Amino acid sequence: MEINVEKCGMYKITPFTKEQSECEFWSRSSTPIVDQKNLMILYKQGFINPIPVHFQNKTEIFWDSFQKAVNINKNGYDGKTRILSIIAKNFLTRKLKVSNDAIRYARNHTLIHGAGGQV
């Protein structure tokens, strides 16, 4: 496909490698180097994501969201314990990225109050 596109006067200006994403950017500009540099600036500043939203790893999104919920929970340790108690029994400690003590406490909380149960 690249050969056909290049024959039409288009230049590949993708700011990331094929290993990072299958998405590509092409330009018909007379100055494709300028376009490529502009895309690289946008990419480095986080405005271009090499993995489109519909291709993003849902598991990774879940774990990132979970970690944020635990980190910013305004109910303190009790709130974090309640969040952990919902899923702690189903995952290994290293996957949850929290302390062993927090996991033990959350699992105990589940036994006494139920998953997510309020004290």
Closest CA to 39 of 21, 19, 13, 17: 13
> Do residues 81 and 105 lie in contact, with contact meaning Cβ atoms separated by under 8 Å?
yes
Domain regions of the chain by residue span: 2-54, 57-113
The number of residues in the chain equals: 119
Report residue 89's pLDDT band, with 50, 70 and 90 as the boundaries: low
Express each pLDDT in 60-79 by its tens digit. Answer: 777 777 777 777 666 666 67
The four Cα atoms 26, 28, 34, 40 give a dihedral, to 10 degrees, of -10
State the Cα–Cα distance between residues 7 and 4, nearest whole angstrom. Answer: 5
- What's this model's pTM, rounded to 2 decimal places? 0.41
The pLDDT of residue 34 is 93
103 or 24: which leads in pLDDT: 24
